[in-house]
Copies of this chain bind each other. A is one copy, B any other.
Amino acid sequence: MAFIKNAWYVASWTHDLKDEPLPQTILNEKIVLWRGEDGVVRAAEDVCPHRFLPLSKGRIAGNDIQCGYHGLIFNGNGECVRAPTQLIRPDCRIREYPVFETMGMVWIWMGDTAIADISEIYDLPQYHQTEWGVAFGDALDVEANYLLLCDNLCDPTHVNYVHPSTLGNPEGINAPVTHESTSWGVVTERLTVDSAPTGFVAAFGGHNGRVDMWQRYLMYLPSVSIIDFGATAAGTGNWQEGGDARIQVYSCHFMTPVTETRTIDRWLHVRNFEPDDQAVGENISEQFRIAFAEDKEILEAVQKEETVHEGRLKIGLDLDASAGLFRLKINRLLKGETPNQSAK
């Protein structure tokens, strides 16, 4: 299976890059990231072209990186700038990768460097606004293809079965799900009107009476998911307007394919209440942590069975429509990246 190359992926948290080189596998490529003494992050192929020791086994030398075996030094453009006991060979170089830091993360461009454009990096405006509180979660390591995670993040139906005790809402089981194609991906929506509050909404919104709740799954190509959910007192407004005692959370997933069967899901959330109380943020993260572990278990099991039942036809259900549309868009992008193959 191919990956979309001409895209920005999250390579690490900003706080993971200190004074040691950091190895990461992204789209099956082994990459070393390091922060120079000037504070700027750089990325290159994680291999010394001499004897193939990963450069991440070496050390940062100023703004450059030095191999830990015989001391070759490479700069952020992948050029060898020093060789021990001899002159530099001009063919001694490795692949570099454009990187950029924003939203507490290091983003990497995996495709053609000539068209890397940092304005295309996903941005959530609320992340930067002081009325909103940010809480960083974990880098969840899931042994499953990233599209299985995307399926899950296009599908509100699973919530009641996978997360019955945390995010589920028995009253909402039959609430209608709709979806819509956008220029950047797919939005899937479930509005639950005049319902008892879920545990989450009761705990963090202080709602005891009936509420209107929304879940909007914004799935951005190729692998950023923003789940916009919240509640207001029943009949006082909806997700677009105001509403009494309105609480709103953006639960954000930045998924980085490692291999065909492994994905790192770095997640954080942004909320419209008690923005400065870190304990509230951590409390919400703890709820998410439990729920995402439930997803992980399901997704890893499904991944394993995909191999076992290779070639077996799946039974399709109505609830697959949104995820199916997202996969269609992924395939179109893939074809665009491999013109020869699409011409066949």
B-contacting residues of A (Cβ < 8 Å)? 30, 47, 49-54, 57-58, 66-71, 83-86, 89, 91-92, 151, 155, 157-158, 160-162, 173-174, 177, 297-298, 301-302, 305-306, 308-309, 312, 314-319
Which one of B70, B89, B174, B312 contacts A161 once the chains associate, using CB atoms below 8 Å?
B70
Quick one: given A70-B161, A160-B71, A161-B71, are A89 and B305 in contact (CB under 8 Å)? Answer: no
Quick one: given A30-B308, A302-B53, are A84 and B173 in contact (CB under 8 Å)? Answer: yes
Task: Check if B83 sits within 8 Å of A317, measured CB to CB.
Answer: yes
Which one of B68, B177, B316 contacts A162 once the chains associate, using CB atoms below 8 Å?
B68
Question: Which residues on the B side are within 8 Å of A67 (C-beta)?
Answer: 161
Task: Check if A317 sits within 8 Å of B86, measured CB to CB.
Answer: yes
Task: Check if B298 sits within 8 Å of A57, measured CB to CB.
Answer: yes
Give the nearest-CB partner of A54 in chain B: B301
Which one of B50, B71, B161 contacts A314 once the chains associate, using CB atoms below 8 Å?
B50
Sample 20 A-B pairs with CB under 8 A, ordered by A number. A30-B308, A51-B314, A53-B298, A53-B301, A53-B305, A58-B161, A68-B162, A70-B155, A70-B157, A71-B160, A71-B161, A84-B157, A84-B161, A84-B173, A84-B317, A85-B157, A86-B317, A89-B315, A89-B317, A92-B315
Question: Which residues on the B side are within 8 Å of A91 (C-beta)?
Answer: 315
A54: shortest Cβ distance to chain B, in Å?
6
Question: Which residues on the B side are within 8 Å of A57 (C-beta)?
Answer: 297-298, 301
Query: Considering the chains assembled together, what is the distance between the CA atoms of A3 and B157 in angstroms?
Result: 41
A42: shortest Cβ distance to chain B, in Å?
20
Question: Which residues on the B side are within 8 Å of A53 (C-beta)?
Answer: 298, 301-302, 305
Query: Considering the chains assembled together, what is the distance between the CA atoms of A89 and B314 in angstroms?
Result: 12
A79: shortest Cβ distance to chain B, in Å?
13
A262: shortest Cβ distance to chain B, in Å?
16
Give the nearest-CB partner of A86 in chain B: B318
Query: Considering the chains assembled together, what is the distance between the CA atoms of A135 and B308 in angstroms?
Result: 38
Question: Which residues on the B side are within 8 Å of A52 (C-beta)?
Answer: 302, 305-306, 308-309, 312, 314
